[in-house]
Structure 1
């Protein structure tokens, strides 16, 4: 291990607590920012600026009152995609990308470095990380997780550079463009690399089933305990009340569990991108719809709550949670917990979004809803 497990636990617990507080803080201020200040995406429609200002009830822009420069402030330019991006990417990686871009002048001076080149570079990093994930040594797997987080950071950076060079404010998906498909392909390759690395590790170091009690033959199957932690395996199994590990989890079972989790990733990605596209079309791109109604729908608490669901169940969130599980050497336990339950969360998010899409469409078209 890279450091004593007790110290690692304390550091991780403190870090997770601080990140959780930070994300809740930012979510709260994002909602207040949307409610109390003008949203610039509704001021791009010709002759609509005056109406938008009146409906907001304020005469100032958020940029005029915030002490954090909008060049690095993730709250300045709220968009549909910005409301649906996971917390880590939106509140941590996005500002870091902006600061890196400001420092190195990537968007302005390093024109030879294209967004697609950045996308391809993080595929290479993912392949290196996947190789390290297969190692039995926990330190190597933790280095792999660091590399995969760098991959996700670069995934943010390619989009940031592309938007800066096109002078686009806020997070947006340019569906159908070459950059959109290249970014999606590179993301897919990176995720596949991670799944393959985890699969090979579990194949070579299969979790074990343990029988708790004084007699392994006297206990029913449902009392089996599956583990993959080397620390647990080394427990004393000779005591009368100890755990005696006898059976390894089959490779077929490993493939089944990891396959179900990968299926969630695929469905989550398809649904997440679908609703970003639909919401953008309804609220951002279709100028023929009434701007006041679009703005009212965007600023509603129901819309904010529905999009917040996708912050939790989008594919990037799944990857962050999986990365944490691997780092803590709890990969198999995490996969077992979510390989079915994750589908429930996904169904709730999809059902909520479908209901909301119908209501928003009716509202922006004729005011119904």
Structure 2
């Protein structure tokens, strides 16, 4: 061993806390950026005012706060603040987007195979192999960001956007679904081969010997299947709702075929604190972040504890966020489409 496992645990915990603090710091800066600087909307934007690009010290080539879009503010923290800038840096070095035979769809298909290898590792009895599987699945997520980046660069699209209805949109969705399915299968195989126990009890023995530990019965495969089925259902519900709200908000807030008054109201919605709060909730409960949490549970050897804790609570949280979002969507639709402008920002 290089160092005691307790030291490794403390190091990993410190890294985890540092990453969470970084995410909160970036969220705070994103809020200030939206409040204080105009959102670039192409021809409808006001080029005479001071923009965020004029004041930021981090180049907009890798700064995720420059191009604020609906999908960006709904995207999970890891993809938005870590993977997206890293993908851009890698593309700037390797110029992948300029290699014509490397297409976004080819990248999407390739990361399915990475997910399958990851699932194979996660099904292993060895914690070390399972951790390798977690890292491989995060590589798959990185490649998922890469295919979207390459597609946007080749179409000269700035910022995170979903091109709903295109072939690439459906190919990416199918490949993501296959990768998630592989991960869940790998997780099921591991739990089936290594069923968790209900707990243990200590039996007193003679004073000369230690207490005997007797483990209780193992969890059955049916209960493992039930908890995994509940989590899979939560992933599907989160994915469907998340993609629905991206489509709705993009249509309401990013259309350019609107009047000047509607454009002003679109920006008012973006500046609304309630809208920012709703989008922040989706950063936490969207399908990508749920997978990050599952992978964290696997990495920390707390998979069963994680599945047990979210079995029912996960549905309650998701339905709560969906309910709030539905209310917000209704209010935003009414506000943006209204005939006269008001100063109300209660969205």
- Show CA shifts across 1:307-360 (max 9, x none): 000000000001111111101111001110011111111011101100000110
Q: Which residue number in structure 2 is paired with residue 309 of structure 1?
A: 281
Q: Which residue number in structure 1 is paired with residue 176 of structure 2?
A: 187
Question: Structure 1 residue 252 and structure 2 residue 241: aligned?
Answer: no
Question: Structure 1 residue 88 and structure 2 residue 88: aligned?
Answer: no
> Structure 1 residues 2, 285: closer, same or farther in 2, change over 3 A?
farther
CA apart distance, 1:107: 1.5
CA apart distance, 1:175: 0.5
TM-score where L is the length of structure 1: 0.87
Distance 1:76 1:363 in 2: 26
Distance 1:156 1:3 in 2: 35
Question: Structure 1 residue 141 and structure 2 residue 130: aligned?
Answer: yes
Q: Which residue number in structure 2 is paired with residue 340 of structure 1?
A: 312
Distance 1:8 1:188 in 2: 34
Distance 1:44 1:88 in 2: 31
Q: How does 1:112-131 map to 2 (within 5 A)?
A: 112-131=101-120
Q: How does 1:157-172 map to 2 (within 5 A)?
A: 157-172=146-161
Structure 1, unmatched stretches of 5+, are 54-58, 216-237
CA apart distance, 1:158: 0.4
Distance 1:122 1:147 in 2: 10
Distance 1:312 1:339 in 2: 17
Question: Structure 1 residue 278 and structure 2 residue 248: aligned?
Answer: yes
Query: Deviating runs (4+, > 6 A) in structure 1?
Result: none
Q: Which residue number in structure 2 is paired with residue 221 of structure 1?
A: none
> Structure 1 residues 350, 27: closer, same or farther in 2, change over 3 A?
same
Contact 1:203–1:251, Cα closer than 8 Å, also in 2 = yes
Distance 2:279 2:246 in 1: 9
Q: Which residue number in structure 2 is paired with residue 359 of structure 1?
A: 331
- Show CA shifts across 1:18-71 (max 9, x none): 101110110000111111111102x433xxx34x86xxxxx2111111111101
Contact 1:173–1:180, Cα closer than 8 Å, also in 2 = yes
Contact 2:201–2:216, Cα closer than 8 Å, also in 1 = no
CA apart distance, 1:243: 4.6
CA apart distance, 1:299: 1.4
Contact 1:210–1:243, Cα closer than 8 Å, also in 2 = no
Question: Structure 1 residue 99 and structure 2 residue 89: aligned?
Answer: yes
Equivalent of residue 234 in structure 2, options 235, 253, 264: 264
Q: Which residue number in structure 2 is paired with residue 33 of structure 1?
A: 33
Question: Structure 1 residue 300 and structure 2 residue 299: aligned?
Answer: no
Q: How does 1:4-19 map to 2 (within 5 A)?
A: 4-19=4-19
CA apart distance, 1:210: 2.3
Report the secondary structure of 1:212's partner residue: strand
CA apart distance, 1:246: 2.8
Contact 1:212–1:243, Cα closer than 8 Å, also in 2 = yes
- Show CA shifts across 1:65-121 (max 9, x none): 11111010000000000000000000000000000010011123x111001111111
Distance 1:210 1:30 in 2: 45
Contact 1:293–1:363, Cα closer than 8 Å, also in 2 = yes
Distance 1:197 1:5 in 2: 26
Q: Which residue number in structure 1 is paired with residue 21 of structure 2?
A: 21
CA apart distance, 1:8: 2.6
Distance 2:137 2:76 in 1: 16
Distance 2:225 2:295 in 1: 18
Report the secondary structure of 1:176's partner residue: coil
Report the secondary structure of 1:247's partner residue: coil
Distance 1:162 1:24 in 2: 29
> Structure 1 residues 3, 182: closer, same or farther in 2, change over 3 A?
farther
CA apart distance, 1:7: 2.6
CA apart distance, 1:165: 0.7
